């Protein structure tokens, strides 16, 4: 039996690793999976609760990296991961997404001669001021197997000179997680707890440095959400990074319909998101999930590495100003319920296709 090391670091990684772990466990004669958690997100609300909701076991190894600068997280992850990989001697190291742990894992693996597979390869925002874009480019340049979620990702890789034999179009593994936990999502009572009616509120996430690290920009976003909340409840589970800045700038809601909560587990958040009228976010994965669910999504960014969600989905890029947010939320509520075309291979079966490729190539 061959060994597969599955690396997770930040919350979105869990939703991409869980379906693959589950698929490997179903066919245990091929691979034995080991989950390595870097600890890039390390408090319970950002980590452990996601393992519970996704029915994953606790990690076999936790590196305990914690927060830090991009260089610090990347370097420390490589240092702590190397002896773990040496002892484990996996036949393949699977990295997912575009966080610092993804890059660190890919570099550590290839330098040790371990085949590296990158799930969600080829996505590009073409904005190198985003740390995630650097992580994506470098990881794809060194990984042995590149698993793509959409046709334009393969186009990006081929333009960068990647050998087509390394590229495998398998679909969107985030949708696998969504399909897998639908029964759990439906059992969540988050709407009852927050006194919300389906399709009668706005759901918000916000954590990117470009939006939350600059007090003036964050004030504009919060003011827009606060104003929009006077017409319809706006629910904002606040990322710890964002909460620190809110506390630093001393911002307070006006007392209208803006509801600020602690971070939510995967099931609670997905129940909240899937029943919302509109989602306002700066997350990459949420752009995909709202497209699958047919929910209007407003992405507070200048660009996106997931353009397919705009061309074939519900997503729209917007500016972070107060009036922009209010105007776009009001416009998006009018689009709710419009039919959305399905995207090829976003069908909940991506993990199985990944495993088939691994069995043939590793």
* 119/193 same-domain check: no
> Hey, which residues are catalytic here?
207
What pLDDT does residue 27 have? 84
What pLDDT does residue 43 have? 57
Count of structural domains within the chain: 2
- Residue 17 belongs to some domain of the structure: yes
What pLDDT does residue 331 have? 94
DSSP assignments along 139-156, one per residue? HHHH-SEEEESSHHHHHH
- Residue 338 belongs to some domain of the structure: no
* 191/155 same-domain check: no
What pLDDT does residue 42 have? 54
What pLDDT does residue 46 have? 53
* 165/300 same-domain check: no
Q: Compute φ and ψ for 120, nearest 5 degrees.
A: 85, 40
What pLDDT does residue 22 have? 93
Q: Which residues of the chain have pLDDT under 50?
A: none
CATH code for position 284:
3.40.50.2000
**How many Cα atoms sit within 13 Å of 150 on the Cβ side?**
19
- Residue 323 belongs to some domain of the structure: yes
Q: For tokens 């639908």, name the residue.
A: 182
Single pTM value for the model: 0.92
What pLDDT does residue 52 have? 75
**Helices and strands, counts by H and E, the chain:** 17, 13
* 92/163 same-domain check: yes
What pLDDT does residue 47 have? 58
Listed in sequence order, the residues at least 6 apart from 252 whose beta carbon sits closer than 8 Å to its beta carbon are none
Nearest Cα to 186, choosing from 256, 287, 268, 116?
A: 268
E-strand stretches of the chain: 2-8, 31-37, 61-62, 92-96, 116-121, 145-148, 167-169, 202-204, 234-237, 258-261, 278-281, 297-299, 315-317
Full domain range(s) for residue 243: 183-333
Residue 209, burial from CB neighbour count under 10 angstroms (0-12, 13-18, 19+)? middle
């Amino acid at each position: 039996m061959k060994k597969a090391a599955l690396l997770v670091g930040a919350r979105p990684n869990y939703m991409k690793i869980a379906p693959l772990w589950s698929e490997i466990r179903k066919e245990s004669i091929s691979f034995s999976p080991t989950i390595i958690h870097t600890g890039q997100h390390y408090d319970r609300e950002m980590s452990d609760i996601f393992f519970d909701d996704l029915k994953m076991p606790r990690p076999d190894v936790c590196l305990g990296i914690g927060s830090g600068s991009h260089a610090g997280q990347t370097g420390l992850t490589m240092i702590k991961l190397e002896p773990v990989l040496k002892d484990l001697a996996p036949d393949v190291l699977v990295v997912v997404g575009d966080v610092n742990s993804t890059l660190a894992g890919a570099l550590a693996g290839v330098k040790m001669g371990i085949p590296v597979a990158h799930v969600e390869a080829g996505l590009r925002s073409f904005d190198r001021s985003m740390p995630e874009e650097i992580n994506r480019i470098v990881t794809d340049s060194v990984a042995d197997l590149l698993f793509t979620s959409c046709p334009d990702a393969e186009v990006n890789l081929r333009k960068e000179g990647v050998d087509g034999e390394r590229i495998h179009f398998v679909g969107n593994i985030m949708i696998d997680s969504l399909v897998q936990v639908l029964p759990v999502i439906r059992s969540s009572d988050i709407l009852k707890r927050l006194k919300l009616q389906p399709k009668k509120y706005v759901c918000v996430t916000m954590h990117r440095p470009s939006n939350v690290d600059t007090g003036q920009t964050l004030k504009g976003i919060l003011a827009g959400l606060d104003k929009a909340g006077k017409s319809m409840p706006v629910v904002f589970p606040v990322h710890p990074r964002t909460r620190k800045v809110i506390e630093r700038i001393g911002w307070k809601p006006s007392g209208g319909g803006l509801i600020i909560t602690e971070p939510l587990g995967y099931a609670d958040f997905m129940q909240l998101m899937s029943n919302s009228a509109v989602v306002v976010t700066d997350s990459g994965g949420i752009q995909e999930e709202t497209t699958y669910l047919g929910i209007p999504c407003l992405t507070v960014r200048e660009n996106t590495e997931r353009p397919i969600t705009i061309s074939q989905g519900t997503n729209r890029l917007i500016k972070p100003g107060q009036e922009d947010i209010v105007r776009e939320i009001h416009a998006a509520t009018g689009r709710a319920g419009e039919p959305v075309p399905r995207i090829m291979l976003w069908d909940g079966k991506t993990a199985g296709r990944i495993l088939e490729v691994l069995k043939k190539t590793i």
